[in-house]
Amino acid sequence: MDPTTLETLWTLGIVIFILLCATTYLFYTSAAKEEVINTMNEAQKKLMRSFHDLDEQAKMIVRTDLELNKIREEMDKRLNGLHTLQRTSRQMSQALNESEIFQRISPALFEDLGFARVLIASVDEANILKIRLNLGYKDDRAEAILKEITAEEPLKNVLQEIHSVSSINCASKTKEKIIPLFEAEHFILAPILTQRGGIGFVFAGNRYNAPAVTQGDEELITILAGQLGQSIENAQLFEKVFRSSQELELKVSDRTKQLALALQKVNEISNKKSEFISAVSHELRTPLTSIKGYAAILIAGKIGELPEAVKERLAKINSHSDSLVALINDLLDIARIESGRQEMKFAVYKIKNIVDSVVDLLAPQINAKGVKLNLRLPQEIESVYVDSAKAERVLINLLSNAIKFTPPNGTITVAVSPKLEHDYAVFSVADTGIGIPASEIQKLFSEFFRVDNEINQSVKGSGLGLVLAKNIVQAHRGKMWVQSQVKLGTTFYFTLPSTQKAFEKYLAHNASQASTSQEFAI
C-alpha cells in the first residue's frame, strides 16, 4: 500500500478510535446525566411533598391562630362580663329590698357582654309580673311582651323551668315564638327562681345582623338570674326578720312595762309586808312581855306558893314566850333589812375575834352534843369590814344548825379561805350531819321552810334562821350558797368584804347589779 493510503488508513483508524472513545464517553456521560436527572426528580418530588406538608401545616397554624384569637376574644369577653357581674352581684347582695336590687343592675354589664336588648321582669307583692329593667325596647313594646308572655302557655312553662333557654339550644317551636316576640334572632332567656318557684325572667338578645350568642353568654346570664333570685330571697327574709324584730321589740317593750308595773307592785307588797310584820311584831312584843313578866312573878312565888304542876306549866309558858320573842326579833330584823331601815355599823374587825366570840357562846351546846369543832383561820386574811354583831349572828345561825344536825362524835369545821373572791373573804361552816336532799336545797332560803327530816320533826324551829343569815350577808353585798350530800354532811358558804375599800368599790361599780349580787348560788 502506498504511503498515502497507509496514512489515510492510519488517519481513518485514529478518527474511528477517537469516535469510539467519544461515543463511549458520550454513552457513559449520558447515563450519568440520566441518573442525576432521576435523582433530581426524586428530590423534587420530596421537596414538593415537603412544600405540600408545610402548606398544610401553615393552613393549620392559621386556622388554629384564628380559633385561638376567637377563643381569646371569647375569654376576654367572659372575663370582663364576670368582673362586671361580680361587681353587680356584690352590689345586689347589699340591697335590703327588691326595688333597690334591680336599681343596682348596671346597663354597662349588658353592654360589656354585647347585648343591645335586655328585659328583666319579676312579680310584685300582688303576684303581677312587672318590668324591672328595659334596654332597647320602647315602654309600650315591653308591656306588650309581658302580656303575651303571660298569655302564651309554652312561654309561661319556659319561665318555670330550672334552666335557661337560648337561640343555640332551645327547641324550634319555642324559638319561633321567642324571636318575633322579642325581635331578637340571638337571645338568652333565663328564669329567676326562688324556693317558691319562678318569679320572673332575664332576657338578653340582639337583632338579626348581630353576632350569635355563645355558651359563655348563656352561663353569665344564667348566673345573673340565679343571683337575682338569691338576692330577692335574702331581701324578703331580711324584711321578714326586720318586721319580726319590730314586733318583738314592741312585745318586749310592752312586756317590760308590764314587768316594771309588776315589780313596782311586788315592791309595794314587799314594803307593806315588811311594815305589817314590823307593826304586828311590835304589837306582839308588848303582851308577850307582860305574859313573860307575870309568868316570872308567879314562878318566883311573889304572889304565893304554887303547886309544882302549876310551876311546870308556867315554866313552859315562860319558855314558849322566849321562843316567840326570838321569832318576833327575827321577823323584825328581816323586815328592817329588806326595807333598808336596819342600821348597820360597819368597821374593821379581826376574823378570829368574831369566830371566838361565837364559839364561846355556843360552847355549852357543842360540848353537850359531843361534837368536835375545827377552826381553820388563815393568816393571809386577818380582818373583815362588817357589822360585827350581824356577822356573829350569821355564824351563830349556821353553827347552831350544824350542831343540831350533826350526830354525837361528828365534826364541825368553821373555815375561812386563804384566797379572796373579788376582794371578799369566803367563810364556810361544814358538818358531818344527815345532809339535805337535792330537791330541797333550792327551798332552804325561803321564809318558814324547814327540811322534812326526823330531827326537824322532833326539834321546833321557826324556819327563819337561814333567811335572816342570807339577808345579813346581802346587806354586806355578799352572797351565800350551800353544798350538801345526804348522810355525808352539809357546807354553807358566805362572803364578807375584806376591807372598807372592797365594800365601797362594790357599791360604786356594781350598783346596777345589786339585785344579781344578792342572789345566793347553789
Phi, psi of 165 (to 5 degrees): -125, 155
Cβ burial, residue 123 (10 Å; 0-12/13-18/19+): middle
The partner residues of 494 in beta bridges, in order of sequence, read 427, 480
Give the Cβ contact number of residue 344 at 10 Å.
Answer: 13
Q: Which residues does 427 contact at the CB level (< 8 Å), separation at least 6? A: 395, 414, 415, 416, 417, 493, 494, 495, 496
Q: Report the distance separating Cα 113 and Cα 418, nearest Å.
A: 77
Q: How many residues does the chain have?
A: 522
Closest CA to 290 of 311, 318, 329, 326: 318
- Domains, the chain, ordered by start: 92-243 (3.30.450.40), 344-517 (3.30.565.10)
Q: What is the pLDDT of residue 319?
A: 66
Q: Report the distance separating Cα 390 and Cα 346, nearest Å.
A: 10
Q: Please report how the helices 388-405 and 351-369 are oriented relative to each other, as an axis angle in degrees rounded to 10.
A: 30
Do residues 189 and 169 lie in contact, with contact meaning Cβ atoms separated by under 8 Å? no
Tell which phi-psi region holds residue 106, choosing left (phi > 0), alpha (psi between -120 and 50) or beta: beta
Q: What is the pLDDT of residue 514?
A: 42
391: cell is: 356577822
Q: Report the distance separating Cα 336 and Cα 356, nearest Å.
A: 27
CA atoms within 13 A on the CB side of 119: 27
Do residues 363 and 398 lie in contact, with contact meaning Cβ atoms separated by under 8 Å? no
427: cell is: 367563810
Low-confidence stretches of the chain (pLDDT < 70) are 1-7, 9, 27, 31, 74, 77-78, 81-82, 84, 154, 158, 267, 269-286, 288-290, 292, 294, 302, 311, 319-343, 447-463, 508-522
Q: Report the distance separating Cα 296 and Cα 319, nearest Å.
A: 11
3-state secondary structure 79-97: HHHHHHHHHHHHHHHCCCC
Closest CA to 129 of 107, 92, 155, 108: 155
Q: Which residues does 165 contact at the CB level (< 8 Å), separation at least 6? A: 158, 174, 178, 188, 189
pTM of the model: 0.43
Q: What is the pLDDT of residue 213?
A: 84
Tell which phi-psi region holds residue 477, choosing left (phi > 0), alpha (psi between -120 and 50) or beta: left
Question: Alpha helix (H) ranges present in 94-136?
Answer: 98-103, 107-113
Give CA separation, 353 vs 47, 358, 387, in Å. 123, 9, 13
Phi, psi of 484 (to 5 degrees): -155, 150
- What DSSP string runs through 435-484? ---HHHHTTTTSTT----SHHHHHS---S-HHHHHHHHHHHTT--EEEEE
Cβ burial, residue 265 (10 Å; 0-12/13-18/19+): exposed
Q: Report the distance separating Cα 2 and Cα 238, nearest Å.
A: 142
- The string over 236-255, giving b where at least 16 C-beta atoms fall within 10 Å of a residue's C-beta and e elsewhere, is eeeeeeeeeeeeeeeeeeee
- What DSSP string runs through 372-398? EEEEE--SS--EEEE-HHHHHHHHHHH
- The string over 39-63, giving b where at least 16 C-beta atoms fall within 10 Å of a residue's C-beta and e elsewhere, is eeeeeeeeeeeeeeeeeeeeeeeee
Q: Report the distance separating Cα 369 and Cα 346, nearest Å.
A: 34
For residue 521, give the DSSP letter. Answer: P
Closest CA to 402 of 425, 436, 379, 447: 436
Q: What is the pLDDT of residue 516?
A: 37
Q: Which residues does 85 contact at the CB level (< 8 Å), separation at least 6? A: 109, 220, 223, 224, 227
